[in-house]
Chain A
Amino acid sequence: MAEVLVVVEATRELGVKKVTLELLTLARQLGSPSAVVLGGPGAADRLGAQLGEYGAEKIYAAEHEDIDGYLVAPKATVLADLVRRVQPAAVLLASSQEGKEIAGRLAVKLDNGLLTDVSELAPDGTATQVVFAGSTIVTSRVTRGLPLVTVRSNSVTPAPAPATPTVERLDVVLGEADKLARVLDRVAEQKGSRPELTEASVVVSGGRGVGSADNFKLVEELADLLGGAVGASRAAVDSGFYPHQYQVGQTGKTVSPQLYIALGISGAIQHRAGMQTSKTIVAVNKDPEAPIFELADFGVVGDLFKVVPQAVEEIRKRR
């Protein structure tokens, strides 16, 4: 079976990201999954067990301090060399900022088409994308080169399928053009142990109706009880209630969790663009006319400062 390359995303704290496990699960339907680890020294040893658990038959390990030391370009160069050599059936990356950026460089290097933000990928290479604020479903395919695809988080349910991967070390040969954007520092701002916004199965978001930065504690409390991530509407971010990296919407993150709870969010198209494909949507808003209710599977017209504390108490009681 032809190889399908999966570019691994990982963090030092949490190991392989959930989206990579989703990509491995998807890759098994297309061919024989090979995980590509692009990182600093020791990265592959740290991640190997998890990659094998989700079906990686092979691990390509490119480990060099320059890969972490410079932005994006070294990863694309190593990956392009690998693709030219093994001629995989497809290359899958996460639809994260960096995943797209690597894919973009790879597309130019190989003069190859690319598809981003894909939610489904058929064995014949036909991809499904949801565009225009979730209003339109598109099927598309690469017509020059191999399927080079970035896949949106939460598009596939990750399923283990233990394999014992062989590990192949790659030579990292970089040119001057790969070492132009130097990373001086990486600063973590993630609060507590909440899951990453785009990867979370549950997202609880607050909007203008939350009223203040301090009141976001209520949003956080419900999110923590449900094991979810916290999001915010643009109105809440612009009002300074919550940091920008948690913004869900047209000019923020696109999320597609199992459960999305919108608190005090009216549901302007700006916001809907980022959450419309969530599986189940719950809304609490005091305005019965709020457009968010058009999307909600369950909506409560009421004061979130009464409804949410009662819900929090009820969840605690049930445990």
Chain B
Amino acid sequence: MNIVVLVKQVPDSSMDRSLRSDDNTVDRGSASNVINEMDEYAIEEALRVKEAHGGEVTVLTMGPSQATESIRKALQLGADKAVHVLDDALAGSCAVATSRVLAAALGQLNPDLVLCGAESTDGRVQVMPHMLAERLGIAALTGARKLTVDGSTLTVERQTEEGYEVVTASTPAIVSVWDTINQVRLASFKGIMAAKKKPVQTLSLADLGVPAEEVGTAGATSEVVSHRRRPPRSVGQRITDDGTGGVRLVEFLAAEKFV
């Protein structure tokens, strides 16, 4: 099975993140950059499908040159090769334009199965799998907490607000996963060494046949007008329980009309 995993490099969500003051885009220098956490589960799931059914795992990322760090990590975990869509004109791309570029790249890779994280920790927009499915005319099985592959039939348990849905489709399809789907492995020493020899192909917009003026800031379908830091919450009241903590908590709730 030809499997492609979409990987996004994001600012580390455990650190202080910000937008740039000049153009309102994500400041990639303010926090260290890491693989989007949910994508690690997609990589793991891809490796498991490959181990059970055979095939090849390709990592696909779009991002600035430092995204090679995230590609390297995915290769160390066991992906076979990588494709990096890299072009200065991509800076500031909106989701609609990003989906156009990724769809063009996927069109060249011709996968049976595309795996990705259910959301990124920076934008948390959750739209990419369905945007890509829409463009490619393939199925999207999103928000999976379980994936079963039986020949060319994919079945997922999709997490919902009320419980879950069982959803099925034939390949080719795109599946997005939550962190409940598996336990991710750590890179082995052997994997780290092997990654150095794995091929990484770089594709430009010209390689993909996507006009530069239709992506990036120039081609964006939405814009950030302004941003500001949210003022910190005012410091509240804090007590140490002296045996009446529960009563005083309820007194607070009553004063705020919750009780």
Render B210-249 as a binary contact track against A, CB cut-off 8 A, 1 for contact.
0000000000111111111110110111111101111111
Contact partners of B230 in chain A: CB under 8 A: 130, 134-137
Using a Cβ–Cβ cut-off of 8 Å, how many residues does chain A contribute to the interface with B? 96
Q: Residue of B at shortest CB range from A13?
A: B162
Contact partners of B128 in chain A: CB under 8 A: 104
Given contacts A76-B134, A299-B236, contact A310 B247 (CB under 8 A): yes
Asked if A15 CB lies within 8 Å of chain B CBs, one says: no
Complex: A79 Cα to B258 Cα, angstroms? 40
| Interface contact tally, CB-CB below 8 A | 283
Interface of chain A: mostly helix, strand, loop or mixed: mixed
Asked if B28 CB lies within 8 Å of chain A CBs, one says: no
Q: Which of A52-60, A156-164, A205-213, A288-296 contacts B (4 or more CB under 8 A)?
A: A288-296
Q: Could you tell me if B142 and A101 are in contact, using CB atoms closer than 8 angstroms? A: yes
Q: Could you tell me if A311 and B94 are in contact, using CB atoms closer than 8 angstroms? A: no
Q: Residue of A at shortest CB range from B12?
A: A269
Q: Which of B110-144 contact A (CB under 8 A)?
A: 121-131, 133-135, 137-143
Render A179-198 as a binary contact track against B, CB cut-off 8 A, 1 for contact.
01111111111100000111
Q: Which of A259-288 contact B (CB under 8 A)?
A: 259, 268-270, 273, 276, 280-282, 284, 288
How large, as a class, is the contact surface on chain B? Answer: 35 or more
Given contacts A108-B96, A130-B230, A135-B16, contact A180 B166 (CB under 8 A): no
Chain A residues close to B by CB (< 8 Å): 11, 71-73, 76, 96-98, 100-101, 103-105, 107-109, 111-117, 126, 130-145, 177, 180-190, 196-198, 202, 226, 244-245, 250-251, 254, 258-259, 268-270, 273, 276, 280-282, 284, 288, 293-303, 306-315, 318
A-B contact pairs, 18 of them (CB 8 A): A73-B134, A97-B161, A135-B17, A135-B229, A135-B230, A139-B226, A143-B220, A144-B222, A180-B139, A186-B162, A186-B165, A250-B121, A251-B179, A269-B13, A284-B249, A295-B233, A296-B238, A297-B237
4 extra A-B contacts, CB within 8 A, seeds A101-B142, A181-B173, A190-B162: A71-B158, A181-B168, A244-B180, A298-B238
